[in-house]
């Protein structure tokens, strides 16, 4: 019998996207995983398929952590309000009936499951089955359908990676981290599945591509440790499949993240590793990696090295031809190049070095980024506002910041939030101005849009 209690509770909850539609199973799963992580520190992977089984009534008694999360997210006090009750497999159908005292360190459910297994073995003996349990398990395995990786599996992985990348550009990575972790876990499981040799490079490439998308989203959500591990894994997939383009992209993200968290030396190393055998990369990819080098030099305040790297990036980008690039490099257009090099120059411009050059590049990025790359436009907007607050007219800085706040209204991103709050430090000199005070208040909402 279907679990109408759970389905109705979910459909009565509004979608966190603000669309006015009911909460989807994917959104509910992500919210439950996030709740468990926030309250217990446990990383869980409740997914859409499992929720569907709950709603169909195929599973009536989820594990305790999932029940706690579902009650909290859907705003109920009792498991029964969600249609959950103990089943007869190891539990009483009556949710108020005690399962009896437990042996210390062992739950009642474990004891009953142990009894069920013992009864099962006794039944086999009574039936005269003399084969060992290993032989019996082997026979059962033979009955199961063989599972091998197919082209459809690989196409699905690529599609999921593309979706997550597009999502990040518009919505950011905050509050979706656990959902992408679930998909990454499935991808890793697929790597353990028998795969025809001709499809193995394609599988590694698709898993690596998904890893880059997943790692970048987790980076955006400031889940740095997990992001680092997944991006390193994606790099390994790219190298195993001998995909130099994917390797360059993975190392570019690793360089960005390392510089972001203050490990500038590691960031420089990753970017320069990506440039190894640059003859196998497209000009766009070389520009992307030279820009990562420039951002590392800029963070260190190394003026000449920063300008040298930006010059190499500009030279490479001048030869860029989108027709020669892989699909995931489509984002690195003139707007992105201007923004990335502008960010590198920002580190120098706040100290009065080539201020107008930095402003010009950031302004170009803001003007040319379409709505499909709204997060990138927000980054450049907040950087330009902070730079203007440092070196120019505070009134103009407020106007630029207000535009960036509007751009970021639907973006959930800890990186965008931190970038926005960089304006606070130079704004302290003008905090008595009403417009500056109002701007500082509005910045507090950035990155955590409801």
Residue 104 is predicted with a pLDDT of: 38
Q: What share of the chain has pLDDT > 70, as a percent?
A: 84
Alpha-carbon torsion 440, 425, 337, 255, what sign?
A: negative
Residue 130 is predicted with a pLDDT of: 41
Boundaries of every domain in the chain: 4-82, 147-242
73 phi and psi angles, rounded to 5 deg:
-70, -40
What percent of the chain is helix, strand and coil (3-state, nearest 5)?
70, 0, 30
207's CB contacts (< 8 A; 6+ apart) are 157, 187, 188, 190, 191, 234, 237
14 phi and psi angles, rounded to 5 deg:
-75, 145
Q: Please, where are the H alpha helices in 146-176?
A: 151-171
CA 238 vs. chain centroid, Å, equals: 19
CA 257 vs. chain centroid, Å, equals: 13
End-to-end CA, the chain: 35
Residue 14 is predicted with a pLDDT of: 86
Q: Is 384 left (phi over 0), alpha (psi -120 to 50) or beta?
A: alpha
Per DSSP, the three-state class of 97 is: coil
| Structure confidence by residue, pLDDT tens digits, 7-30 | 889 888 888 766 667 788 888 988
Q: How far is CA 390 from CA 218, 255, 395, in A?
A: 31, 27, 12
Residue 21 is predicted with a pLDDT of: 74
Segments of the chain with pLDDT less than 70: 17-20, 87-146, 174-179, 449-450
CA dihedral 281, 275, 268, 287 (to 10 degrees): -40
Is the pTM value of this prediction over 0.85? no
Q: Which CATH architecture has domain 4-82?
A: Orthogonal Bundle (1.10)
| Structure confidence by residue, pLDDT tens digits, 141-185 | 444 455 789 999 999 999 888 888 888 888 887 666 566 777 888
| Structure confidence by residue, pLDDT tens digits, 206-262 | 999 999 999 999 999 888 998 999 999 999 999 999 999 999 999 999 999 999 999
């Amino acid at each position: 019998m279907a679990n109408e209690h759970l389905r109705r509770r979910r459909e009565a909850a509004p979608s966190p996207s603000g669309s006015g539609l009911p909460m989807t199973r994917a959104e509910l799963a992500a919210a439950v995983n996030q709740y468990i992580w926030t309250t217990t520190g446990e990383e869980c992977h409740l997914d859409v398929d499992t929720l569907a089984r709950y709603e169909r009534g195929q599973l009536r008694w989820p594990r305790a952590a999932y029940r706690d999360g579902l009650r909290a997210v859907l705003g109920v006090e009792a498991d029964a309000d969600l249609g959950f009750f103990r089943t007869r497999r190891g539990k009483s159908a009556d949710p108020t009936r005690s399962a009896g005292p437990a042996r210390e360190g062992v739950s009642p459910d474990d004891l009953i499951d142990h009894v069920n297994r013992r009864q099962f073995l006794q039944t086999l003996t009574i039936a005269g089955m003399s084969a060992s349990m290993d032989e019996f398990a082997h026979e059962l395995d033979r009955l199961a359908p063989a599972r091998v990786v197919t082209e459809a599996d690989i196409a699905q992985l690529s599609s999921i990676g593309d979706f997550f990348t597009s999502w990040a550009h518009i919505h950011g990575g905050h509050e979706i981290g656990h959902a992408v972790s679930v998909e990454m876990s499935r991808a890793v499981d697929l790597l353990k599945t028998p795969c025809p040799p001709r499809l193995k490079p394609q599988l590694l490439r698709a898993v690596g591509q998904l890893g880059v998308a997943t790692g970048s989203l987790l980076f955006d959500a400031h889940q740095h440790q997990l992001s680092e591990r997944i991006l390193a894994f994606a790099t390994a997939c790219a190298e195993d499949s001998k995909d130099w383009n994917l390797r360059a992209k993975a190392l570019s993200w690793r360089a960005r993240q390392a510089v972001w968290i203050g490990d500038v030396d590691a960031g420089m190393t990753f970017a320069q590793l990506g440039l190894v055998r640059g003859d196998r990369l497209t000009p766009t990819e070389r520009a992307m990696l030279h820009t990562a080098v420039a951002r590392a030099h800029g963070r260190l305040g190394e003026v000449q090295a920063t300008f040298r790297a930006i010059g190499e990036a500009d030279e490479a980008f001048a030869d860029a031809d989108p027709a020669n690039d892989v699909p995931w490099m489509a984002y690195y257009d003139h707007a992105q190049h201007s923004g990335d090099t502008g960010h590198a120059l920002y580190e120098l411009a706040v100290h009065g070095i080539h201020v107008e050059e930095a402003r010009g590049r950031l302004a170009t990025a803001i003007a040319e980024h379409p709505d499909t790359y709204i997060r990138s436009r927000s980054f450049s907007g907040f950087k330009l506002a902070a730079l203007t607050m440092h070196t120019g007219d505070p009134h103009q800085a407020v106007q630029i910041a207000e535009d960036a706040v509007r751009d970021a209204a639907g973006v959930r991103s800890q990186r965008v939030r931190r970038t926005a709050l960089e304006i606070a430090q130079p704004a302290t000199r003008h905090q008595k101005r009403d417009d500056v005070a109002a701007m500082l208040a509005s910045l507090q909402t950035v990155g955590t849009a409801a």
